[in-house]
Chains A and B, each alone.
Chain A
């Protein structure tokens, strides 16, 4: 597609349920990033993929969070046993090459997750 696509755009889930958030990066972009945007914490880095590998998972807040990327394209962020503090907007971004020096990251519109 023309841009980074995320689905669903909105998700309401009950506390304790698992959720999967999907990201389709721009075709040909090798680098993919997940960020979380919440009122109290601002924009936080979660994880970075280069191809199908995740060399930097340092931002994942707990072991309830995991992500994978297949075929060097689509990525799924999974949150198990959701908690209310997981409520946030989850943003995905991609870039054409590794590293962001001299390269912009293109962001999707995000998935707004609400845990009730």
Chain B
């Protein structure tokens, strides 16, 4: 079975500052993928970034980077230079080779960017 844990239910961040959202995972499958999604108040889940278990380098997409620490089973999302539009729920999710058609989500972290 696979499990995702997000320990921060909510956090404030000052505009233009960086914020780190924590995510730890658990799986016995050596082949897995980790995702971060953003869910604004409109409800749509917006894909942000992906990290594969065999990727040698941390994934980056614009202002988003994933701090992948395989030995610690953590996949923290770093948002640099926060903007007001970054206020949303953020979900960490994973899939595995064995359960490749299924995403398991963490409980989410609500981020509020303050001007």
Contacts and interface: CB of A to CB of B under 8 A. Distances in A.
Interface of A: 31, 33, 35, 42-43, 45, 48, 50, 55-56, 59, 89, 91, 93, 98-102, 104-110, 112
B97 A101 contact: yes
Nearest to B107: A42
B45 A93 contact: yes
Contacts of A35: 103
Interface string B43-76: 1111100101000000000000000000000000
Given A107-B45, A109-B43, A110-B44, A100 B103 contact: yes
Interface of B: 31-33, 35, 37, 42-47, 50, 52, 91, 93, 95-97, 100-108
Contacts of B32: 101
Given A43-B91, A89-B43, A110-B43, A98 B105 contact: no
A102 B95 CA distance: 10
14 contacts: A31-B101, A33-B103, A35-B103, A43-B91, A45-B102, A48-B101, A55-B101, A99-B95, A101-B32, A106-B47, A107-B44, A107-B45, A109-B44, A112-B43
A62 to B, nearest CB: 19
Given A98-B101, A99-B101, A105 B47 contact: yes
Nearest to B37: A107
